[in-house]
Homo-oligomer: A and B are copies of this chain.
Amino acid sequence: MSDQTEIVPEAEDEDAYALDQRAVARILYAVDIEDRQQLLELLEPLHAADIADMLEQINAFDRMRLVKLLGDEFDGEILSELDETLREEVMRTLNPQVLAEAVRELDSDDVVDLLEDLAEPQKAAILEVLEDSDRVAVEQSLTYPEYSAGRLMQREVVMAPEHWNVGEAIDYLRNRHDLPEQFYHIMLVDPKLRPVAKVALGKLMASRREVLLSDITSDTFEVIPATRYEGDVAYAFNQYHLISAPVVDENERLVGVITIDDAMAVLEEENEEDILRLAGVDEESRISDTVLNTTRRRFPWLAVNLGTAVLASLVISLFEEAIQTVVALAVLMPIVASMGGNAGTQSLTVAVRAIATRDLTGSNLFRVIRREVLVGALNGVAFAAIMAVVGLIWFGSPQLGAVIAAAMVINLVVAGLAGIAIPVALDKLGVDPALASGTFVTTVTDVVGFFAFLGLAGAVLL
């Protein structure tokens, strides 16, 4: 426990790894009284990721004062760990020499990550302070498209010719002075520097010197083109339990290595994006954003929703006469729409996830559509029966019960169909289904729900 407590003091099991509120209070107190020594002592045991989290949680004024008080003790890792929305703010607060020093400490892939979001003059200023070899590495990575494997990879690779044996590899490693901080495999390459296999370090250590490297290669070996989308890279790491994988250029030559910790961070970002997009929240939205920024980011989705709500209202207005005659229709109509919206959201969420995890393919698409429609029909019949009884008891009208029951079945079948068909269609069109499916599906279920219920009521009751 003693070591873990170093990182998260007073952590209890029920709140493991949450930042301790009292520790934050002590840090802010040190900032208030401008006690630099105390601040350094309080931050010393914290991991850069936790310091970044704390900077995200305190307000902008405290953040500025804390960063200024830290001065040249500001650790570059904190910048890497910080949310992109706050990075620029913190980088502006840092004095240029401190910033240069902080960036020089970082690995080339972390510098690439920092630079991506900066404006040109800032980017140039930071590139200038890097050592020559680092600058070249960073500039080469930046030639790959954003969100590509080429941006994600480390350029430091440990490689060996495919014909070496264990002894040669160990001697080579022990004589190299510039081994990367983290590496878990030796990549075997052919004479044209194309990766052909990899050998785990543990396996290397455990084998006799005369064993050929080619006899102890890992079973699973994935080669990643530098232009591949980072989300696909993260999927491959998760699917094939990779720890590291070689990255190749367009000539299939080894240019870098991606390790699982970077892939894990991408996977988490992709999931975050899906969750937020499904709820109509801009995926750049952060809890540390200002009120005005948040309002602006939320507005467009609400505006789209207003449009679809007005569309549904237009459908209702077609039946004003029926509502005036039987006011119970106005009371009951939101139930049909709401049930359709919920059932549609269930189907579309399952579809969006299945698309993201490559579980919905041409092989099972029609079976999945059929299943969703049948599920909609079965739950439709169940809730139709319930609502028929509710309608009968509440308003004493068997016809009203029959109308709402029929509308319920129709809307839940449509919900199941739209819930699968719309995300699949958007995906085929190259639009992220998480982004737009929700609006389309609930528009369909609102319009169909009101139309079916009020239309049937008009025909049966009037």
Q: Measuring CB to CB, which residues of chain A are less than 8 angstroms from any residue of chain B?
A: 1-4, 7, 13, 16-19, 21, 24-25, 47, 49-50, 53-54, 56-59, 158, 170, 173-174, 176, 179-184, 195-197, 200-202, 205-206, 220-225, 227-229, 232, 235-243, 248, 252, 260-261, 263-265, 267-268, 271-272, 274-276, 278-281, 285, 287-292, 294-295, 298-299, 301-303, 305-306, 308-310, 312-313, 316-317, 320, 323-324, 327-335, 337-339, 342-343, 345-346, 348-350, 352-354, 357-364, 367-368, 371, 374-375, 378-379, 382-383, 386-387, 390, 446
Contacts of A317 in B (CB 8 A): 331
Closest to A358 in B: B18
Cβ–Cβ contact A345 & B291, under 8 A: no
Contact in complex: B363, A58 (CB < 8 Å): yes
Residue numbers in B under 8 Å from A359 (CB-CB): 53, 56-57, 287-288
B358 and A19 form a contact (CB under 8 A) = yes
**Interface contact B205-A184, CB-CB below 8 Å:** no
- With A334-B313, A367-B59 already in contact, the answer to whether A239 and B17 are too (CB < 8 A) is yes
* Inter-chain contacts of A263 with B (CB < 8 A): 264
Known interface pairs A13-B227, A358-B19; A238-B222 also in contact (CB < 8 Å): no
CA distance in complex: A18, B229 (Å)? 14
Smallest CB gap from A13: residue in B: B228
Residues of B close to A49: CB separation below 8 A: 239-241
| Identical copies in the complex | 2
**B361→A57 contact, CB < 8 A:** yes
Q: Given A278-B279, A298-B343, A353-B275, answer yes or no on A361-B56 (Cβ-Cβ < 8 Å).
A: no
- What CA separation (Å) do A358 and B352 show in the bound complex? 25
Please, which residues of chain B bring their CB within 8 A of the CB of A309?
Answer: 334-335, 338-339
Q: B222 contacts A302, CB within 8 Å?
A: no
**Is there contact, CB below 8 Å, between B332 and A323?**
no
- Return chain B residues, CB-CB under 8 Å to A202: 158, 179-184, 201
Q: Cβ of A305 and Cβ of B363 under 8 Å apart?
A: no
Residues from chain B with a CB closer than 8 A to the CB of A295 are: 374-375, 378-379, 382
Shortest Cβ gap from A25 to chain B (Å): 8
Is B323's CB under 8 angstroms from A330's CB?
yes
Q: What are 6 sample pairs from A and B whose C-beta atoms fall under 8 A apart?
A: A3-B221, A50-B239, A263-B264, A279-B349, A302-B339, A305-B339
Contacts of A222 in B (CB 8 A): 3-4, 7
Q: Chain B nearest CB: distance from A278 CB in Å?
A: 7
CA distance A329 to B324 in the complex (A): 11
